Amino acid sequence: MADLSNFDVNSAGNPNNNIFGLPFSEDDARLVILPVPWEVTVSYGAGTSRAPDQVFKAALQVDIFNPDVPDGWKSGFYMRPVDRKVMLKSDYLRKEAELFIDFVSRGEDIQANKFMCKSLREINEGSVFLNDWVYEQTSDLLKAGKLVGLLGGDHSTALGYWRVQAEHHDDFGILQIDAHCDLRPAYEFFKYSHASVVYNALAEIPQLKKVVQVGIRDYSKGEWEYVQQHADRVTCYLDRDIKDRMYEGANWRSICDDIVAQLPQKVHISFDIDGLDPKLCPHTGTPVHGGFQADQVNFLFRRVLQSGRSIIGFDLVEIGVGDTNWDANVGACELWNLCNLMIGSNQ
């Protein structure tokens, strides 16, 4: 148990401590954050593999108080060090992926180019490695009795964690905040693409009973057809439809309660930061105009908690890195809210 007798909750964040300047070790902490510095298959802007480091620094500026769970931090939050070997592997494969994406976007024949065939194989093998690595890390943490939050990295990083959730729960659902459906099969020939993570989860995890997508505003015809054909497992709340309901007089609480009603008892929150208005995440990998304000999303999360549902885990992904610390600052605040939400749901 950490000694908090000399810890001043009102002081500036101590950089010698861990996330949010809190004086906890992994052993002491109730909740452990796993950083996953991976962005191999991103199809537009890069940088999210560096987000965990930037969020860690920005988190020193977050005030240690949450009105919904005032003493939640005393349970202990701890973020593991970024695994530099995983980051280096991501960097190497990302360069190969950039060349490959450029090659296929020009309509070239993959099979006629041995180098591109090799790159595709290495990228897909690297994604399998990452899935297995996340699975092992999160599995060990859950077996140790920890609550677990994942900090990406791109959205593909969450799949290994979801697989572990399936081993601990007979059934569960995912509340997905996102600008995109992520329901594309093998996007750009990458089986475990960031744009395919929900498709892969539904295909590979039978315990995943329901995915409720909120804020979607950029999707393909094929993805929309998938949603229609799998309405028993996917409910999609388009950003456009949400806004139309509000313009016609519906309030946000009633919409949130409709969303929450679609969720099973056990809920994993998957928060792709690009679900927010791009002014809050300008350097995210694939920004899309529209989206939510942070307080709207946080209100929705609180409604999940107030409904009596159990929040079994979360991932926060696609935070970008730019010339300022704005993306990391917003990401750190959302990470703080998610950590307290998890504690509040598991007291």
Q: Partners of 238 in the beta sheet?
A: 216
Q: Residue 218 pLDDT > 80, yes or no?
A: yes
Q: Residue 316 pLDDT > 90, yes or no?
A: yes
Q: For the sheet with 266-272, list strands across it.
A: 77-79, 31-36, 147-152, 310-317, 266-272, 172-177, 208-216, 234-238
The three-class DSSP label of residue 44 is coil
Q: Partners of 315 in the beta sheet?
A: 150, 270
pLDDT of residue 322: 86
Average pLDDT, the chain: 96
346 dihedral zone (left: phi>0; alpha: psi -120 to 50; beta): alpha
Round to whole Å and give the CA distance between 270 and 162. 10
Average pLDDT over residues 217-224: 97
pLDDT of residue 74: 96
Task: Give the model's confidence band at 130: pLDDT under 50 very low, under 70 low, under 90 confident, else very high.
Answer: very high
Verdict on whether the full-model pTM lies above 0.95: yes
Domains and CATH numbers, the chain: 19-345 (3.40.800.10)
Half-sphere exposure of 80 (CA within 13 A, CB side): 21
User: Which parts of the chain fold into alpha helices (H)?
Assistant: 51-58, 84-105, 114-143, 159-168, 197-204, 221-229, 239-247, 252-261, 294-306, 326-345
Task: Give the model's confidence band at 44: pLDDT under 50 very low, under 70 low, under 90 confident, else very high.
Answer: confident
pLDDT of residue 5: 85
Q: Is the dihedral of CA 197, 202, 208, 209 positive or negative?
A: positive
pLDDT of residue 43: 84
Average pLDDT over residues 100-116: 93
Task: Give the model's confidence band at 324: pLDDT under 50 very low, under 70 low, under 90 confident, else very high.
Answer: confident
pLDDT in tens, 6-38: 899 999 899 999 999 999 999 999 999 999 999
pLDDT in tens, 47-72: 999 999 999 999 999 999 999 999 99
pLDDT of residue 50: 96
- DSSP secondary structure of 303-329: HHHHTT-EEEEEEEE-----SSSHHHH
Burial 302-323 (b: 16+ CB within 10 A, else e): ebbbeeebebbbbbbbbbbbee
Q: Residue 117 pLDDT > 80, yes or no?
A: yes
Average pLDDT over residues 96-114: 93
Round to whole Å and give the CA distance between 169 and 162. 10
Q: Which amino acid makes up residue 226?
A: Y
pLDDT in tens, 330-345: 999 999 999 999 999 9
pLDDT of residue 124: 97
Q: Residue 237 pLDDT > 90, yes or no?
A: yes
Question: Phi and psi dihedrals of 145, rounded to 5?
Answer: 85, 15
Q: Residue 271 pLDDT > 90, yes or no?
A: yes
Question: Phi and psi dihedrals of 129, rounded to 5?
Answer: -55, -45
pLDDT of residue 98: 94
Average pLDDT over residues 207-218: 98
pLDDT of residue 45: 84
pLDDT of residue 3: 85
Q: Residue 45 class from Cβ within 10 Å (0-12 exposed, 13-18 middle, 19+ buried)?
A: middle
Q: Residue 307 pLDDT > 90, yes or no?
A: yes
Round to whole Å and give the CA distance between 68 and 9. 17
* Residue 273 in tokens: 């930061």
